[in-house]
Amino acid sequence: MGNDTFREESNKAFETAKLTSYWLYLAGIPEAIEYGKLIGLEDGVDPEVIPYSKDMCFLNPIIHEIRYTSVNYYVRNSGCKNVLDIACGYSPRGMQLAKEGYHYVGADLPVVADELEPIARKAGLDNLEYVGADATNYESLKAAADKLDGPICIVVEGLGMYLTKAEAATVRDNIARIMSEHEGSTYITPDPGNGYLFFDCITANYPPERMREVFGMLFTMYNWASNGGITMETDKRPLEEDAKMFKESGLDAKMSPLRPDNPQLLSFSKLAPEVTAKIREALMHPFTFVSTLSPDYVVKEGNDNDFNIESNIEGDTLFVKVSGRLDVLSSPKLLECFESNKEKVKEVEVDCKGLTYLSSSGNRVFHLIRKELSDPDKLRVINLSEELEKQSQDDEIIQHM
């Protein structure tokens, strides 16, 4: 496996990002068509291989046009001239906002950012940048944010369904900490309301007896696209519960309508008037979270970037010691260590005594190693703290769903 492949194998969510951009392209959003050409979308996505292609290519452009334009609406109303788009994927937002004069930094996994940065240079937009970062890793997000001077409009769109509860809390803590360092910043995310948005768009377009079936199709399709990388966190839970979790991170979240200006969307041109009427109603639902930093915010530390790995071979066993954070940025190093030694060994022992953080991508690497060893018991993960053990078990349940 090459370096990029290690990164891709341990971070599966990035494949769905191309699909997200494809839905906007199918919706006919002009900048998505222009950006689609720059990133080679037409060659990169084959609609024939998308599960339930006909329904998916009909429903998703509507849902994603609503979500994308809602976030843009709130960015333009934030008063900030800086945008930090966390988990930006292949969204055309950066190119569009940079053309409008915003300083836009897209922060995504290094494998995505490395692909997009040369494209931004080719587009000739100096105020459009892409940076490799892990949303759960404060240091990497801070480095991205510090490219921007003054208040920032921080955006997270479409990341929630790839995070466990613990990871989502870390991302919120990191965002609050960055907001405390860039006074006057705003945080916009439609993610807590995703379940509702999907529900509304399905009920507007399908009869009640098909609801379960269409939700099943969506779940299958996203699981396919992310190779099993999605969690079950994006359900239809009361949004007040999310607002409380935001508060615990030091964020005052206001639940705002998807599109208070209730615009004529491009997708409407393909829909019957009674369907567009239902979607218009949905546009007024308060599913977007617009947050400011709480006046009583207190910084939560301890989320620093300090991964270390050591290994040696004794007999037919590979002994690995990991310490610090095993997250999206560092887990490819563990996979690389295994891949480059696997021909010489039959067993692997990973000593996690010094591990302070274990993300789902770290757990994913343990899965990959188990899969490659002839017997899953030949991977021993030892000295995991009780807290990380519990998180890891929750994560496993999610990965097997």
Ligand X SMILES: C[S@@+](CC[C@H](N)C(=O)[O-])C[C@H]1O[C@@H](n2cnc3c(N)ncnc32)[C@H](O)[C@@H]1O
Residue 55 binds ligand X, judged by CB under 6 A? no
Contact segment (CB under 6 A) with ligand X among 82-90, 116-124, 233-241, 340-348 equals 82-90
Question: Can you say whether the dihedral through the CA atoms of 85, 221, 258, 271 is positive or negative?
Answer: positive
Main-chain phi, psi angles of 9, to 5 degrees = -60, -40
In this complex, which beta carbon is closest to ligand X, that of residue 170 or of residue 256? 170
Q: Quick one: which segment of 94-102, 152-160, 205-213, 385-393 binds ligand X (CB under 6 A)?
A: 152-160
Q: What's the token pair of residue 199?
A: 């529900």
* Residue 127, both tokens: 């105020």
For the bound state, the minimum distance from the C-beta of residue 274 to ligand X, rounded and expressed in Å, comes to: 29
Quick note: the x/- pattern for ligand X over 130-149, rule CB under 6 A, is ---xxxx-------------
**Contact call for residue 112 and ligand X (CB under 6 A):** yes
From the list 7, 8, 9, 17, which residue makes contact with ligand X (rule: CB under 6 A)? 17
Taking the least distance from each CB to ligand X, the nearer of 62 and 379 is: 62
Query: Among 54-62, 88-96, 293-301, 376-384, which window interacts with ligand X (CB under 6 A)?
Result: 88-96
Nearer residue to ligand X within complex by CB, 16 or 288: 16
110 binds ligand X per the rule CB under 6 A: no
CB distance 194 to 242 below 8 Å = no
Residue 341 beta carbon to ligand X: minimum distance, rounded to whole angstroms: 27
How far apart are the C-alpha atoms of 201 and 196, rounded to whole Å? Answer: 9
> Which backbone phi and psi does 157 adopt, to 5 degrees?
-130, 120
- Give the residue with the Cβ less far from ligand X, 55 or 108: 108
Least distance to ligand X, CB of residue 44, Å: 14
Of all residues in this chain, which one has the CB nearest to ligand X in the complex? 89
- Is 32 one of the binding residues for ligand X (CB under 6 A)? no
* Binding status of residue 157 toward ligand X by CB under 6 A: yes
Q: Which of 284, 292, 288 is nearest to 255 (CA)?
A: 288
User: Out of 6, 7, 9, 21, which residue is the one contacting ligand X (CB under 6 A)?
Assistant: 21
- In eight-state DSSP terms, residue 253 is E
Q: Judged by CB under 6 A, how many residues of this single chain contact ligand X? A: 22
Closest by Cα among 138, 173, 175 to 153: 175
Q: Is 365 helix (H, G, I), strand (E, B) or coil?
A: helix
Residue 59 CB, nearest distance to ligand X (Å)?
15
In 148-281, beta strands by DSSP E: 153-156, 186-189, 251-256
Site string for ligand X, 299-338 (x = CB under 6 A): -----------------------------x----------
Q: Using CB atoms within 10 A of its CB, is residue 98 exposed (0-12), middle (13-18) or buried (19+)? A: buried
Angle, helix 386-400 to helix 165-181, in steps of 10 degrees: 110
Write out the DSSP string of 297-347.
Answer: -----------EEEEEEETTEEEEEEEEEESTTTHHHHHHHHHHHGGG-SE
Q: Which residues pair with 86 in a beta bridge?
A: 107, 156
Least spacing, CB of residue 60 vs ligand X, in Å = 11
Subset of residues 358 to 377 that bind ligand X, contact rule: CB under 6 A: none
E strands present in 82-150: 82-86, 103-108, 128-132
For ligand X, give the closer residue by CB, 141 or 279: 141
Tell me if 56 contacts ligand X by CB under 6 A.
Answer: no
Give dist(CA 172, CA 247) in Å, integer: 10
Q: List interacting residues with ligand X (CB under 6 A).
A: 13-14, 16-17, 20-21, 87-89, 91, 108-109, 112, 133-136, 157-159, 162, 328
